Amino acid sequence: METFLLCPPDYFDINYSINPWMTGEKINIEKAKSQWIDLVCAIQSEGGNVRTIIPEKDYPDMVFTANAGIVKNNTFIISSMRHSERKGESHYFRNWFKREEYDIVDIIPGVSFEGCGDVLVHQNSLIGGYGYRTDLLALEVAAGTLGISLFDLKLSDPRFYHLDTCFCKISDNKAIYYPKAFEKGEIEKLCGIIDLIPITEADARLFMCNSMRVNDTLLIPTIHSEIGKNISNNLGIKTRSVNVSEFLKSGGSIQCLSLRI
């Protein structure tokens, strides 16, 4: 059974701005809590298992558990957050994974790494984004630790500051991506590795690349998108819409809220 680690949004808020989406936004916390519960229910109803970590008052972005690190087998490579506002989250994730008896690996001191926000495993390779929140050296260390090859992709648009905001595997052999989020020539590194389907800026701004697979179903943030209709009608992939609009105000969506463990 696929298992995901989530963090209840008890203290979710926008108290600072560390990406372009956060400027001037206000959170409706009751709506956020309701949407988070809907996400949990969607994961469970599609056959996924949900574990939770206790939220901490001083870390409103702890709700975005994908940034905590990356898990492969029993190894947890823990993040080293770029911004001071989030650095303290790692202490609580370290304790959680230590209690669960994972082997915990740290990135080199002084090197930034933001977990599954910027990396994903595809077959026997690590696909990683760098340039805003994660350093290239961190991707090299992570791939070496896991014993897999690396495809590193340099990001170029601060609105799409993590790989999971502009690239998403939608099946075993297909991925959607927003072309202008990458430096020239970068996405072409994946040609022949996975079928690449470009999406429009309008769909990228809806965070369609922050969708997430649960078994054979792709959880998407909205059905009102060109790529969403294409996935359902032309690619034969089952989709399920989960509205997480309150979290989009902070620059995150479905994938950001879930860490596959």
Q: What is the mean pLDDT of each run of 10 residues along the chain (261 residues)?
A: 97 96 94 98 98 98 98 97 98 98 97 98 97 98 98 98 98 97 98 97 98 97 92 93 97 98 97
pTM, 2 dp: 0.96
Query: In this structure, are residues 218 and 239 in contact, taking their beta carbons and an 8 Å threshold?
Result: yes
213 is written with which tokens? 């697979």
Q: What is the per-residue pLDDT for 160?
A: 98
Distance CA 245, CA 222 (A): 9
Q: Domain map of the chain by residue range?
A: 3-260
Class of domain 3-260: alpha beta
Q: So which residues are the catalytic ones?
A: 162, 256
Residue 144: partners with Cβ closer than 8 Å, 6 or more residues away: none
